[in-house]
Structure 1
């Protein structure tokens, strides 16, 4: 089979259900924001060569007529170098992966102006990659500051609302070349947290339900496996308000009989990853192949079970999980699926129509997206 260029896959219309905002920053933006804070203030040191490229002293001393171009070129090189470094660092271990988020990413996202920029840029990049709709997930509690657990409840609720308002406004204003796409937010409780915070996040999801596509349970599955009892009351309350439930699970562990029973009783329609064991055929799987390889779940893309699950008739959707540590895009995932498993445009249309079934959009938007997909794949 003749390989097609990435530009071919970028032109294909696509939907995405599973991508984390805090795993999808532009490396250039990270360096720009850290340069304002001070690279030396990062709890995890930046590579010296990256900082030197960004600061570009030799370019700063160049004649004024060429200085701007030299600085810009040096900073683009710095961004590429940092992107490669942080992805390589994160791939070494789960600890490194989490350290990169906690020590390099989240400190930038405690500032509301930064958060707004990061959300808008992610949507711009999605549009450039051929997305016609996307659901972005995040934990609003992660953007309150390093010591949010020490805040009194009223302050915490006020700050959570501020984070949500900022994110919603960024979603509403994001565009590329005047083009906007439907964007919904998925609110994540984290497995190491507790029922009180889950209820506060449920309140947030309900208050902003017009912009919310789902309520999720994410985080450390190996340490806190399965369906957690403290999450269930909040999830049930959100579900009663017409908001869909999704849950990260079975990326590292297989589901137990109790897990499967609880998923059914809660009405969880979607599972993030879901590549271990059997979860029955009726649930939508938000599969992120490259991410699963990066985190060590599978040795290579060719070893990933996505093709087997798809051919077995499972409700497979294709996602990135994030673009920063995986160094992937949805277009690149499509290219890898085509070159590794022989997927065709018909296969990509099918998984996108499956994603459309699972996506939280109104009937009018759903019909419009379906027409865009069919037209885009059957030219």
Structure 2
């Protein structure tokens, strides 16, 4: 069945922008406005590869299109360079909340690594406080513009460094001030999740949820370590779980790890455009999210880095919907999956579904 046969009524990008969406995987330092980077760089004398915002945006997208996660990550040197003061962090966070809200995102969990923003002497607490002030301002300004959004913060520890316990403790200390979870990020190859097992065990003792980047640049061992050794609540990316699914006599046969992840409803934070850029997928059309969705995995659609992928959550949904012939029912399923996988408390999830998500999609049926 072709996409056109399955979904004869085309859902446009503009249609999807109007839909309430939930975002689980978005990096603060990967979503800056190009003109903001230029202004902040000028203020501190940081040299950029391009100075005009449009040219700079193109440079980021082209540089990220290398097919290598390692080269993709190099682009963050410029965004992190301009995020070293409390004012800069507050501005970037505020603009992120406003940009997502304008795209129809009603709840987002945005992640960043506080340890990467201390070059000018900010303490870890000061970094978190500046970002939280920015999110609060962004939520307020978005509401004044007619777009309601709530931001939950995930604190990342860099997986190639040795500060994961320190960042885990930071997350727990700020859990009642907007921080809802923890993650490890950075180069996956050679840096298995188990390297930070002590931090994950601490978070378990403190009843603090966490996700783990796994199954992007590395394969099944990384996913197994994240799930079975470290006990993650969600998987950042996880697209390589497809390596545990075989075609046997014309039917898809799941391996034990794939079965476990599906059966335990461990959510996959899939990022189609980013996965193509880093070589985790060949194309959006062959990405695998449609296949995983049909098999019953808890799939979700995410942006990863909006600047590097020149994307929005609405665009990601539109690309995937077009590639897989999705209609409103399929899009609703992804949004509901994301709500269920958030690190919100259960009553907040129920309220978000009943008051915002379900009424919109019911009107489309």
1:183 aligns with 2:151: yes
Tell me if the contact between 1:227 and 1:263 (Cα under 8 Å) persists in the aligned partners: no
Tell me if the contact between 2:235 and 2:267 (Cα under 8 Å) persists in the aligned partners: yes
Distance 1:208 1:19 in 2: 19
Greater share of helix: 1
Tell me if the contact between 1:123 and 1:174 (Cα under 8 Å) persists in the aligned partners: yes
SS, match of residue 350 in structure 1: helix
* Aligned-residue offset at 1:3: 4.0
1:326 aligns with 2:309: yes
Query: Partner residue of 1:69?
Result: none
1:374 aligns with 2:358: yes
Q: Deviations over 1:324-369 (max 9, x none)?
A: 0101111001111121111111111111111111111123321221
Distance 1:319 1:350 in 2: 14
Indicate which of 213, 217, 228 corresponds to 1:248.
213
SS, match of residue 343 in structure 1: coil
Tell me if the contact between 1:10 and 1:130 (Cα under 8 Å) persists in the aligned partners: yes
Indicate which of 259, 274, 280 corresponds to 1:297.
280
Distance 2:132 2:310 in 1: 26
Tell me if the contact between 2:194 and 2:229 (Cα under 8 Å) persists in the aligned partners: no
1:238 aligns with 2:203: yes
Q: TM-score w.r.t. structure 2 length?
A: 0.85
1:165 aligns with 2:129: yes
Query: Partner residue of 2:239?
Result: 275
Tell me if the contact between 2:24 and 2:342 (Cα under 8 Å) persists in the aligned partners: yes
SS, match of residue 216 in structure 1: strand
State how 1:57-206 maps to structure 2 within 5 Å: 78-92=52-66, 93-102=68-77, 104-145=78-119, 159-175=123-139, 176-178=142-144, 179-194=147-162, 197-206=163-172
1:26 aligns with 2:33: yes
Tell me if the contact between 1:14 and 1:131 (Cα under 8 Å) persists in the aligned partners: yes
Q: Deviations over 1:206-248 (max 9, x none)?
A: 1111222221121111232x3223x111111112222112100
* Aligned-residue offset at 1:298: 2.0
Query: Partner residue of 2:49?
Result: 46
Runs of 4+, deviation exceeding 3 Å: 1-5, 93-96
SS, match of residue 109 in structure 1: coil
Root-mean-square deviation (Å): 1.9
Distance 1:208 1:200 in 2: 13
State how 1:335-354 maps to structure 2 within 5 Å: 335-354=318-337
Distance 1:269 1:33 in 2: 36
Query: Partner residue of 1:216?
Result: 183
Tell me if the contact between 2:188 and 2:214 (Cα under 8 Å) persists in the aligned partners: yes
Q: Deviations over 1:280-303 (max 9, x none)?
A: 312110000110011122221112
Q: TM-score w.r.t. structure 1 length?
A: 0.82
Distance 1:206 1:301 in 2: 37
* Aligned-residue offset at 1:168: 1.5
SS, match of residue 123 in structure 2: helix
Tell me if the contact between 1:20 and 1:136 (Cα under 8 Å) persists in the aligned partners: yes
Q: 1:261 and 1:290, CA in 2 relative to 1: closer, same or farther beyond 3 A? A: closer
SS, match of residue 269 in structure 2: strand
**Greater C-alpha radius of gyration:** 1
